[in-house]
């Protein structure tokens, strides 16, 4: 099975202190450290596991700049067969539809049976997967927590419903799936793995190579535009309980029940 | 029978069996040779391990740990039994060989043991045989009746080893009886024939047997004599050939195991011996994945394990119900070797160990505290094996999710918390603290003699920053010209390495070594025993390092540090030895000397102290790992402090502090027990002149809520 995984490089929320820039329309990007978007990493792991079970290749693609090679290498160190970087100044400022347009063009150059995305980017809006599926006229299933390959170019996929129940669906290939974190346990990528792929050339495509009309992507074509960025004010923090152990236990139960945590 | 009075008739008695005896000799030796050769097969396929250096140091180890049985008295009953049996075996070795030779050359006398020397030797060995025999009886009774818990085999590790142990003990007892019977029958026959009788040691086993057979006919005695010889010979060879199939193989291997034992404490074996760091990239596979990835010495360890259970009896992971029992790291590998390198037929090697004989959780459960190695009478190594197995898992991407984030953060930020590099020195920059003690960050215009290496937890953790401030104030007080690396410091990588991520460790180390060199310091001080061990043993080309407790102890002796009396004379203090200060680096006395120098401080020892200290739960990445366990190690440790009658636990490691303070809460001992770092306590008690003396900033309260004094 030929699998394409769309991955993104995002500021790592656990390793950065996210602050607003002075203009107030974006975060301060100096001194940020980046990593592969967590859900995308689960998508790559899932693709690798499917390929290991039924055979095939895993290609990881990202739309971005040269800096984003870093996440492609990380995913190649995990075991992805190919990493592809799509970069063009014309793409900058694209909205979700713009990115999907670019990815669609790339997907159509290959012969992919399955396209995976993470459920959403940590700084994203969870839209690229769905828009991409619509553009390709492929079926789309989202929020997946398991994938099973069936005979006859079909998959059995499940997603979690609010409240912890599961829904199982069948879906025809080719299709686009968005992957929820927790679907698997992504393997660790150590320094050694990254160094091993450090010199592997990464093919790059620009708008013209993909046949993308620059007028359909980028900031000019974006129909969703960010107008503000807002950091909520910190709440008052933890509430300390000062009773005896029994009183505290009772109070905790009350509080949890009040928030709907106990039924 | 070693003596010189040898009646012709008795010689004839044996001569009739000469061919039989010779056949058994040849068969026995051939079998043993074949078995040992087969056992050596995996060792020849193993990884290299250069242990042929420093013969004198190695012989010294043999003298102390093998011949001197140094570790054995740590377990009084079993230790005493073993020392007696070992001494008996050593003494009886010559006698056993003499008996074996007598079967084919009836008048043989071991050179040097004729005449008076032989008579003395006989008396001594009569007693030795008797003592070994009695020890076997006691050992069997222990196994069957008293059943010490550490010999039990938990169901998940397979069948009980009791039957095998009892069988082997019985065989040795039989060997002793056969030997004694042989001597007794001869003496009885000599007496009956009016020949000069070899005097048997009074009240020894041969002496008693001689009385039993005193009135037997010569014919009977001949049969007994012949039979005893045959029994002795068959038992001897059976044992010789049976031992390599179980725990008694250590009788043969222990000498080699101790001789080739690791010489340096606190160190780790490299990924591959003989491959320097620059060439590590070219190594195909890291760590131990299959049995053949172990070094030959580690395989010898597996053969040598006597299944005594002392390692697991002291292992904190085992004590709290984690899936690790060091004893079975060895036993399972040995069983694997026996199964996959059979006596006949081809070896079937190359199977993955993780998921087959070891579980991932089992290997991640180890805190590398070293309690197992400290206890092992045969100097079996565990930490290197655990780390090698982890290296293999890391290489396969097989790392728990809980550890992946801190590892990634270490890679991108140089600390496991993912905090900003520029905030690394914030603990020292709090305004109120700066008024008391200015800590300079070393750089172009800021040089110093001494570097205070802070490491990640003390730099970033709100609570542990107090240890950093206390340490800085102590260094300041004793007049050290010191500084810190600040943002240029990265995690020491101590646990990164021990969790198997060698290349990430190398990157951190290289970064730190460069920064240390650039700073131009002459020596390093740290208050973190993990950083201490890394700087001392894992880093090369970096200046000499001391733990703050060593500095304090020296300054106390020199009189630079004087203490006020403790305010609350009712407090009872106990010192908890951090593993990487105590066991791995032998710093036991300095912290205790410091405590004892504080006027009015009452100190008690926990039962498990010094080299038997009980790990708090582990440091570094172990704080992120989510083990499967029934109880926290820290809780067990805090309860030990309660048992000792203490209400203040003093430690000298920030990770111990994390675990102790958590454990105090979990154990419901808040208000009844506190934990304090040695540096904090010293800072609190130190006699200062001038304004500094009045400040309580930056540390030392023994109550975490009071310690958050920074801005």
CA distance A132 to chain B (A): 30
Residue B691 has pLDDT above 60, yes or no: no
A-chain residue closest to B403, CA distance: A188
Alpha carbon separation from B480 to B360, B434, B471, B560 (Å, rounded) = 46, 17, 11, 11
Q: Which residues pair with A82 in a beta bridge?
A: A59
Higher pLDDT, B157 or B505: B505
CB contact under 8 A, B397 and A14: no
Tell me if A243 is assigned to some domain: no
* Alpha carbons A205 and B669: distance in angstroms, whole number: 63
Q: Which of B395, B86, B380 is nearest to B251 (CA)?
A: B86
Tell me if A238 is assigned to some domain: no
Q: Contact, A102 vs A86, CB < 8 A?
A: yes
Of B404, B412, B502, the CB nearest to A188: B404
Tell me if A257 is assigned to some domain: no
CA distance A39 to chain B (A): 14
What single string gives the DSSP state of each residue in B593-645?
HHHHTSTT-EEE--SS-GGGPPP-S--GGGGT-----SS-HHHHHHHHHHHTT
* Alpha carbons B698 and B680: distance in angstroms, whole number: 8
* Residues B431 and B464 reside in one and the same domain: yes
Helix (H, G, I), strand (E, B) or coil at B269: coil
* pLDDT bucket at B6, cuts 50 / 70 / 90: very low
Residues 6 or more apart from B373 whose CB is under 8 A from it? B311, B379, B380, B381, B382, B383
How many Cβ atoms sit within 10 Å of the Cβ of residue B212? 12
Tell me if A251 is assigned to some domain: no
Alpha carbon separation from B24 to A139, B18, B168, B225, B354 (Å, rounded) = 80, 10, 20, 17, 43
Dump pLDDT digits (tens) for A88-137. Answer: 999 999 999 999 999 999 999 999 999 999 999 988 889 999 999 999 99
Q: Is A14 on the interface with B (CB under 8 A)?
A: yes
Selected residue of B418, B500, B672 to mutate for chain A interface (largest A Cβ count, 10 A): B418
CB contact under 8 A, B413 and A188: no
* Alpha carbons A124 and B464: distance in angstroms, whole number: 37
Tell me if B271 is assigned to some domain: no
* pLDDT bucket at A73, cuts 50 / 70 / 90: very high
Higher pLDDT, B287 or B445: B287
- The DSSP letter of residue B201 is P
CATH number, domain of A11, equals 3.40.50.620
Among A213-227, B131-145, B303-317, B645-659, the range scoring the smallest mean pLDDT is A213-227
Question: Token match 């002392």: residue?
Answer: B310
* Alpha carbons B531 and B316: distance in angstroms, whole number: 22
Tell me if A229 is assigned to some domain: no
Q: Contact, A58 vs A78, CB < 8 A?
A: no
* Residues B408 and B391 reside in one and the same domain: no
* pLDDT-above-90 percentage for chain A: 69
Domain encompassing residue B294: 277-398
Torsion sign, CA atoms B338, B343, B344, B346: positive
Among B51-65, B189-203, B346-360, B621-635, the range scoring the smallest mean pLDDT is B189-203
How many Cβ atoms sit within 10 Å of the Cβ of residue A150? 11
Q: Contact, A88 vs A209, CB < 8 A?
A: no
Which tokens is B662 given?
A: 């958590």
pLDDT value at residue B4: 40
pLDDT value at residue A27: 82
* pLDDT bucket at B701, cuts 50 / 70 / 90: very low
* pLDDT bucket at B443, cuts 50 / 70 / 90: confident
Alpha carbon separation from B574 to B89, B541, B605, B643, B673 (Å, rounded) = 43, 37, 6, 11, 11
Chain B residues whose beta carbon lies within 8 Å of the beta carbon of residue A190: 394-395, 397, 407, 501, 503-504
Tell me if B2 is assigned to some domain: no
Q: Is B271 on the interface with A (CB under 8 A)?
A: no
According to DSSP H, which parts of B534-602 are helical? 548-558, 589-596
CA distance A196 to chain B (A): 8
* Alpha carbons B553 and B531: distance in angstroms, whole number: 19
How many Cβ atoms sit within 10 Å of the Cβ of residue A57? 15
Alpha carbon separation from B387 to B20, B261, B267, B286, B709 (Å, rounded) = 52, 17, 11, 11, 39
Q: How many CB pairs under 8 A join A and B?
A: 61
pLDDT value at residue B8: 52
Q: Is B79 on the interface with A (CB under 8 A)?
A: no
Tell me if B251 is assigned to some domain: no
Average pLDDT over residues B484-504: 97
Which tokens is A19 given?
A: 């602050």
Residue B703 has pLDDT above 80, yes or no: no
pLDDT value at residue A243: 85
User: For helices B654-666 and B633-643, what crossing angle results, to 10°?
Assistant: 80
What single string gives the DSSP state of each residue in chain A?
-EEEEE--EEE-TTS----B-TTSSSB--TT--EEE-HHHHHHHHHHHHHHHHH--EEEEEEES-GGGHHHHHHHHHHT-SEEEEE--GGGTT--HHHHHHHHHHHHHHTT-SEEEEES--TTS-S-HHHHHHHHHT--EEEEEEEEEEETTTEEEEEEEPTTS-EEEEEEESSEEEEE-TTSS-PPP--HHHHHHTTTS---EE-HHHHT--GGGSHHHH-SS-------PPP---PPPP-S-HHHHHHHHHHHHHHTT---
Residue B210 has pLDDT above 70, yes or no: yes
Residue B3 has pLDDT above 60, yes or no: no
* pLDDT bucket at A32, cuts 50 / 70 / 90: confident
ipTM: 0.86
Q: Contact, B450 vs B522, CB < 8 A?
A: yes
* pLDDT bucket at B11, cuts 50 / 70 / 90: low
Among A117-121, B155-159, B548-552, the range scoring the smallest mean pLDDT is B155-159
pLDDT value at residue B690: 57
CB contact under 8 A, B501 and A78: no
Q: Contact, A73 vs A189, CB < 8 A?
A: no
Helix (H, G, I), strand (E, B) or coil at B579: coil
Q: Which of B179, B170, B74 is nearest to B129 (CA)?
A: B179
Higher pLDDT, B445 or B205: B205
Question: Token match 């700066």: residue?
Answer: B434
* Residues B487 and B613 reside in one and the same domain: yes
Which tokens is A154 given?
A: 């079909």
Helix (H, G, I), strand (E, B) or coil at B696: coil
Among A1-10, B57-66, B562-571, B697-706, the range scoring the smallest mean pLDDT is B697-706
Domain total in chain B:
3
pLDDT value at residue B430: 87
CA distance B277 to chain A (A): 12
* Residues B117 and B151 reside in one and the same domain: yes
* Residues B320 and B362 reside in one and the same domain: yes
Kindly list the strands in the beta sheet with B674-677, ordered across the sheet, starting from the edge strand earlier in the chain.
Answer: B602-604, B572-575, B648-651, B674-677
Domain encompassing residue A170: 2-221
Dump pLDDT digits (tens) for B373-422. Answer: 999 999 999 999 999 999 999 999 999 999 999 999 999 999 999 999 99
* Residues B303 and B332 reside in one and the same domain: yes
* Residues B387 and B422 reside in one and the same domain: no
Tell me if B269 is assigned to some domain: no
Q: Which of B364, B300, B374 is nearest to B337 (CA)?
A: B300
CATH number, domain of B296, equals 1.10.1060
Tell me if B258 is assigned to some domain: no
Q: Find the angle CA(B29)-CA(B30)-CA(B31) to the nearest 5 degrees.
A: 90
For chain B, positions 81-140, list CB contacts with chain A under 8 A.
none
Tell me if B262 is assigned to some domain: no
Peptide bond into A177 cis (omega under 30): no
* pLDDT bucket at B10, cuts 50 / 70 / 90: low
* Alpha carbons B400 and B359: distance in angstroms, whole number: 12
Selected residue of A192, A241, A245, A248 to mutate for chain B interface (largest B Cβ count, 10 A): A192
User: Dihedrals φ, ψ of B588, to 5°?
Assistant: -110, -35
Chain A residues whose beta carbon lies within 8 Å of the beta carbon of residue B399: 187-188
pLDDT value at residue B697: 37
Of A12, A191, A245, the CB nearest to B507: A191
Q: Is B156 on the interface with A (CB under 8 A)?
A: no
CA distance A152 to chain B (A): 32
Dump pLDDT digits (tens) for A177-230. Answer: 999 999 999 999 998 999 899 999 999 999 999 999 999 999 999 998 888 888
* Alpha carbons B563 and A129: distance in angstroms, whole number: 68
Of B399, B403, B405, the CB nearest to A14: B405
* Alpha carbons B563 and B707: distance in angstroms, whole number: 21
* pLDDT-above-70 percentage for chain B: 95
Tell me if A158 is assigned to some domain: yes
Dump pLDDT digits (tens) for B73-128. Answer: 999 999 999 999 999 999 999 999 999 998 888 788 888 888 889 999 999 999 99
* Residues B536 and B587 reside in one and the same domain: yes
* Residues B419 and B562 reside in one and the same domain: yes
* Residues B209 and B60 reside in one and the same domain: yes
Q: Which residues pair with B524 in a beta bridge?
A: B451, B545
* Residues B476 and B353 reside in one and the same domain: no
B-chain residue closest to A185, CA distance: B401
Helix (H, G, I), strand (E, B) or coil at B326: helix
* Residues B203 and B329 reside in one and the same domain: no
CA distance A113 to chain B (A): 27
Residue B30 has pLDDT above 80, yes or no: yes
Question: Token match 């320094």: residue?
Answer: A191
Chain B residues whose beta carbon lies within 8 Å of the beta carbon of residue A15: 408-409, 412-413, 418-419
Domain total in chain A:
1
Residues 6 or more apart from B702 whose CB is under 8 A from it? B648, B674, B675, B676, B680, B681
Residue A30 has pLDDT above 70, yes or no: yes
Instruction: Provide the residue count of chain B.
Output: 711
Which tokens is B158 given?
A: 């397979």
Of A12, A190, A196, the CB nearest to B418: A12
User: Dihedrals φ, ψ of B415, to 5°?
Assistant: -150, 155
Tell me if A161 is assigned to some domain: yes
Which tokens is B83 given?
A: 């020392």
Helix (H, G, I), strand (E, B) or coil at B709: coil
Tell me if A191 is assigned to some domain: yes
CA distance A29 to chain B (A): 13
* Alpha carbons B571 and B437: distance in angstroms, whole number: 29
Provide the mean pLDDT of chain B.
92
Residues 6 or more apart from B23 whose CB is under 8 A from it? none
pLDDT value at residue B2: 43
Which tokens is A166 given?
A: 């599961």
Tell me if B260 is assigned to some domain: no
Q: Tell me, rounded to whole angstroms, the distance of Cα B666 from its chain centroid.
A: 29
């Amino acid at each position: 099975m030929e699998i394409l995984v769309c991955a993104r490089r995002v500021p790592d929320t656990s390793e950065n202190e996210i602050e607003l820039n002075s203009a107030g329309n974006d975060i301060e990007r100096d001194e940020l450290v980046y990593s592969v978007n967590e859900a995308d990493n689960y998508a790559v792991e899932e693709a690798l596991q499917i390929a290991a079970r039924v055979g095939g290749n895993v290609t990881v693609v990202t739309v971005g700049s040269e800096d984003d090679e870093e996440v492609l290498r990380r995913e190649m160190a995990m075991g992805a067969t190919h990493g592809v970087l799509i970069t063009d100044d014309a793409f900058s400022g694209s909205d979700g539809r713009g990115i999907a347009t670019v990815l669609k063009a790339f997907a159509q150059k290959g012969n992919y049976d399955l396209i995976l995305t993470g459920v959403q980017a940590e700084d994203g809006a969870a839209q690229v997967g769905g828009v991409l599926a619509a553009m390709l006229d492929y079926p789309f299933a989202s929020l997946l927590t398991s994938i099973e390959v069936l005979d006859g170019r079909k998959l059995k996929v499940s997603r979690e419903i609010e409240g912890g129940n599961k829904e199982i669906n069948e879906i025809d290939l080719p299709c686009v799936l968005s992957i929820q974190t927790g679907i698997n346990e992504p393997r660790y990528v150590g320094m050694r793995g990254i160094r091993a792929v450090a010199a592997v050339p990464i093919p790059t495509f620009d708008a013209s190579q993909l046949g993308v009309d620059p007028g359909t992507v980028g900031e000019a074509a974006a129909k969703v535009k960010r107008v503000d960025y807002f950091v909520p004010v910190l709440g008052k923090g933890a509430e300390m309980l000062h009773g005896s152990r029994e009183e505290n236990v009772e109070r905790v139960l009350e509080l949890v029940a009040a928030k709907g945590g106990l039924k | 029978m070693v003596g010189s009075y040898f009646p012709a008739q008795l010689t004839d008695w044996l001569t009739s069996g000469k061919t039989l005896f010779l056949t058994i000799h040849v068969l026995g030796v051939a079998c043993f040779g074949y078995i040992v050769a087969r056992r050596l097969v995996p060792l020849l396929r193993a990884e290299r391990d250069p242990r042929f250096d420093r013969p004198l140091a190695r012989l010294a180890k043999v003298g102390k740990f093998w011949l001197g049985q140094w570790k054995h008295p740590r377990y009084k009953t079993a230790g005493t039994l073993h020392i007696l049996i070992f001494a008996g075996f050593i003494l009886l070795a010559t006698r056993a060989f003499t008996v074996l030779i007598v079967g084919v050359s009836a008048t043989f006398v071991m050179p040097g043991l004729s005449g008076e020397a032989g008579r003395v030797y006989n008396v001594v060995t009569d007693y030795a045989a008797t003592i070994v025999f009695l020890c076997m009886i006691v050992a069997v009774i222990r196994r069957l009746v008293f059943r010490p818990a550490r010999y039990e085999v938990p169901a998940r590790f397979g069948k009980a080893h009791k039957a095998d142990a009892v069988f082997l003990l019985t065989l040795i007892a039989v060997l002793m009886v056969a030997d004694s019977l042989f001597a007794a029958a001869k003496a009885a026959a000599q007496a009956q024939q009016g020949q000069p009788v070899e005097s048997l040691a009074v009240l020894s086993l041969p002496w008693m047997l001689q009385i039993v057979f005193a009135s037997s006919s010569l014919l009977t005695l001949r049969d007994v004599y012949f039979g005893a010889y045959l029994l002795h010979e068959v038992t001897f060879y059976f044992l010789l050939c049976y031992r390599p199939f179980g725990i008694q193989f250590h009788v043969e291997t222990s000498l080699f195991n101790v001789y080739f034992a690791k010489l340096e404490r606190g160190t780790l074996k490299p990924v591959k011996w003989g491959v320097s760091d620059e060439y590590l990239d070219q190594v195909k596979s890291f760590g131990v994945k299959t049995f053949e990835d172990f070094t030959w010495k580690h395989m010898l360890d597996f053969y040598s394990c006597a299944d005594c259970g002392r390692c697991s009896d002291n292992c904190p992971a085992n004590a709290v119900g984690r899936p690790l029992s060091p004893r079975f790291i060895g036993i399972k590998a040995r069983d694997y070797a026996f199964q996959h390198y059979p006596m006949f037929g081809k070896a079937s090697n190359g199977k993955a160990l993780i998921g087959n004989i070891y579980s991932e959780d089992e290997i991640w459960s180890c805190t590398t505290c070293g309690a197992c190695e400290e206890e092992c009478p045969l100097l079996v190594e565990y930490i290197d094996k655990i780390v090698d197995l982890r290296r293999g898992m890391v290489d396969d991407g097989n790392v728990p999710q809980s550890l992946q984030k801190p590892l990634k953060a270490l890679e991108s930020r140089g600390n496991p918390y993912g905090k900003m590099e520029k905030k690394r020195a914030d603990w020292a920059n709090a305004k109120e603290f700066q008024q008391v003690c200015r800590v300079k960050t070393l750089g172009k215009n800021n040089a110093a003699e001494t570097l205070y290496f802070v490491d990640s937890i003390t730099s970033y953790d709100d609570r542990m920053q107090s240890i950093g401030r206390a340490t800085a104030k102590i260094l300041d007080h004793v007049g050290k010209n010191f500084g810190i690396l600040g943002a240029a410091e990265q995690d020491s990588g101590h646990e990164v390495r021990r969790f198997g991520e060698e290349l990430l460790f190398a990157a951190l180390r290289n970064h730190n070594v460069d920064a240390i060199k650039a700073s131009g310091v002459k020596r390093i001080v740290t208050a973190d025993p993990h950083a201490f061990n890394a700087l001392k043993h894992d880093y090369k080309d970096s200046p000499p390092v001391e733990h703050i407790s060593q500095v304090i102890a020296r300054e106390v002796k020199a009189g630079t540090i004087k203490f006020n009396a403790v305010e609350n004379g009712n407090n009872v203090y106990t010192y908890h030895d951090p593993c990487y200060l105590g066991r791995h680096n032998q710093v036991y006395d300095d912290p205790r000397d410091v405590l004892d120098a504080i006027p009015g401080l009452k100190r008690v020892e926990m039962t498990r102290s010094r080299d038997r200290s009980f790990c708090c739960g582990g440091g570094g990445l172990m704080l992120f790992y989510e083990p499967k366990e029934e109880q926290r190690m820290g809780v067990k440790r805090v309860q030990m402090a309660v048992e000792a009658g203490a209400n203040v636990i003093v430690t000298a490691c920030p990770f111990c502090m994390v675990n102790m303070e958590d454990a105090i809460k979990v154990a419901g001992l808040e208000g009844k027990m506190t934990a304090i770092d040695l540096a904090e306590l010293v800072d609190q008690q130190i006699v200062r002149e001038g304004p500094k003396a009045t400040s309580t900033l930056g540390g030392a309260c023994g109550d975490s809520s009071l310690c958050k004094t920074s801005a």
